Structure 1
């Protein structure tokens, strides 16, 4: 469900590296050339370009981009150029820091990445920061947040489609009992949410819906201002209907008084190669405006061009 368009005949990584070098030389930077190359290369191709650039010019491409570009455009290009696991490690690290604390980002990484991808993120985090992601979350998050997030990022969920319906029914009842008793931080509640495969969890939540007449997230709105419950709802949404979660992040980022560029950049760069097509469809359905048009109305310049290329044109 990616939107990324890669040309049928892709130049060699060395050719791309040479073209990028040309974009940096002379009077002013050729931003259009940078956009035309990087937005039409997949993660593997971008990795090879970085390698070729380092081998040829003895400089990290990211450092070169950092020197040449600025503000939101720079941030978007750097995030996009990073290897996906490195990118997530960086996002996770930033989201635990005191001044950039954003637990929602950790929820996104822990719930919408495949088990293999999450494992790669943890390895990249370890390599880059010389400690584990669990360690940092346990240190920076407190109370119920810590209790929920540590098992979520440590999870190695089964990725297949097999479902045990008897178990789903039994666990739907456990979830219902815990919610009825407002035991939202209960060990069993967190165990079910953080360890079951997505297919199994979907079956459990369908049982919940059918047996108790309400979607679980409706029942978790007992106190709409409770931040922990908001996070819990985000976890469930991301594990079951991530496109609805991301549509809301984009809607809030774009409709804010003054755009939330960070939210916009994060969603586009992390989902362009995954499920952005579905997110775009959901955005159009919910807002009656194609996502690329909403972005074009809200941001400008090279930053706009870069995001539009990654988003893909048209209404889908």
Structure 2
């Protein structure tokens, strides 16, 4: 469900490029003009703008933006302007680096994209970094994290709605047995989470809840400080209720002492065209505050304006 607001009369990509070029020239960058264009174009339109800009001016639009902008505003504009597959490749690569490593970002990309989108991200990763995402994830992780993350990024799940109820019952029982044994890294538990379709997993986990009286994530909360168990619970949430997962990431990012700008920018840039409306509803339900108010209170300047435009609050 796209929530990005696109003006009814969109100028031609060539006009957009001309306006962007103007925004970069003169005594200072015209940030308002950049926001008024890029924040109100969808992925397909942004792709064409990038192509025409490069053809017309002999320079990549992303390089021009990189030169003209700075800090958090630069990051959100660049993340947003990137083609979604390129963006995922960039974020995944960043998540394998020593200083910016994040098992959560890798899991998030693997679990909240469609099978085709994850495949495209992996293609973009190979084209850009001359390595596979799988080999980088395997190299930069270890132990239980590697056991979970490598199959997660390697999978190509069935994306349809067909469900096998007999299988759901037997696999709910299997999951319950392994969790009761505290065998959280058992190959069957990991196999079910990393290969089954999202519809099949939902059926399995509903049966788990009905049959054993607890939601699976409640049973996985035996050790609140265990980082692997936290990631395992987040994996299940991403596969079944992504809006709940993203609401929590945003809540923690905004309520931190000093906002976690990377998490905030990542979620807004990657979800604005996907399920931002559902995330906003979940945020309001959970916090009794609209997401745009929370962002407005916690950020400022052009960075705030860009974020608000992307969560669907921008004025033309």
TM-score range, shorter chain: over 0.9
> 1:44: which partner in 2?
44
Q: Quick check: 165-174 or 9-18, which moved more?
A: 9-18
Shift of 1:313: 2.3
Q: Give the 5 Å matches for 1:234-273.
A: 234-273=234-273
Q: Which digits, 9 at most, give the CA deviation of each residue in 1:222-262, with x for residues without a partner?
A: 11110000000000000000000000000000001111111
Shift of 1:76: 0.4
Q: Distance in 1 between matches of 2:226 and 2:69?
A: 40
Shift of 1:13: 1.1
Q: Distance in 2 between matches of 1:2 and 1:268?
A: 13
> 2:226: which partner in 1?
226
SS of equivalent residue, structure 1 residue 258 = coil
> 2:129: which partner in 1?
129
Runs of 5+ unmatched residues, structure 2:
none
Whether 2:287 is the aligned partner of 1:287: answer yes
Q: Distance in 2 between matches of 1:186 and 1:129?
A: 32
Q: Which digits, 9 at most, give the CA deviation of each residue in 1:263-304, with x for residues without a partner?
A: 100000000000000000000111111000100000000000
SS of equivalent residue, structure 2 residue 3 = coil
Q: CA RMSD in A?
A: 0.8
Whether 2:178 is the aligned partner of 1:178: answer yes
SS of equivalent residue, structure 1 residue 201 = helix
Q: Distance in 2 between matches of 1:226 and 1:256?
A: 21
Q: Which digits, 9 at most, give the CA deviation of each residue in 1:36-62, with x for residues without a partner?
A: 000110001000000000000000000
Whether 2:5 is the aligned partner of 1:5: answer yes
Shift of 1:11: 1.3
Q: Distance in 1 between matches of 2:210 and 2:144?
A: 29
Q: Distance in 2 between matches of 1:2 and 1:294?
A: 21
Q: What TM-score, normalized to structure 2?
A: 0.98
Shift of 1:7: 1.6
> 1:312: which partner in 2?
312
Q: Give the 5 Å matches for 1:22-171.
A: 22-171=22-171
Runs of 5+ unmatched residues, structure 1:
none
SS of equivalent residue, structure 1 residue 78 = helix
Whether 2:191 is the aligned partner of 1:191: answer yes
Q: Distance in 1 between matches of 2:313 and 2:36?
A: 14
Q: Distance in 1 between matches of 2:265 and 2:222?
A: 32
Q: Which digits, 9 at most, give the CA deviation of each residue in 1:20-74, with x for residues without a partner?
A: 0000011111100000000110001000000000000000000000111000000
> 1:302: which partner in 2?
302
Question: Paired residues, what number?
Answer: 314
Q: Which digits, 9 at most, give the CA deviation of each residue in 1:185-219, with x for residues without a partner?
A: 11111000000000000000000000000000000
SS of equivalent residue, structure 1 residue 44 = helix
